[in-house]
Amino acid sequence: DGGITQSPKYLFRKEGQNVTLSCEQNLNHDAMYWYRQDPGQGLRLIYYSQIVNDFQKGDIAEGYSVSREKKESFPLTVTSAQKNPTAFYLCASRGAGLNNEQFFGPGTRLTVL
């Protein structure tokens, strides 16, 4: 069963703590992405990776970090430097299909108390 998994679905953390969101894909896609979604706003790109061991900052990378040590995995760390971390976080991957579509995971809703 191919797809993208994100865990956990809901996450609660105290202010000042770092937290890591998991994203795994078994679609054999090279490109992976992290987005943040806030109510009434479009998806905003945090980081993306076109290939293993390489990643680039998106539009709102401050306060976040990523790694891409394996093709299947692209974890996102929300650090204490992120001023407003409460949001819905979406991971996606993209292959070489004709439609250039991104495949999204189910999302992680992070609440910082």
Residues of the shown chain interacting with another protein in the complex, contacts defined by CB under 8 A: 4, 31, 33, 35, 40-43, 45, 48, 50, 58, 88, 90, 92, 94, 98-107, 109
Alpha-carbon gap, residue 64 to 49, rounded angstroms: 14
Nearer to another protein among residue 98 and residue 113 (C-beta): 98
Q: How far is the CB of 104 from another protein (least distance, A)?
A: 3
Nearer to another protein among residue 22 and residue 80 (C-beta): 22
Q: How far is the CB of 16 from another protein (least distance, A)?
A: 27
Give the C-alpha distances (Å, rounded to integers) separating 81 from 15, 18, 55, 84, 103.
10, 9, 20, 9, 29
Nearer to another protein among residue 60 and residue 80 (C-beta): 60
Structural tokens at position 36:
């943040």
Altogether, the residues listed in the chain come to a count of 113
Q: How far is the CB of 80 from another protein (least distance, A)?
A: 26
From start to end of the chain, where are the E strands? 4-7, 10-13, 19-25, 31-37, 44-51, 54-57, 64-66, 76-78, 87-94, 102-104, 108-112
Nearer to another protein among residue 4 and residue 78 (C-beta): 4
Q: How far is the CB of 41 from another protein (least distance, A)?
A: 5
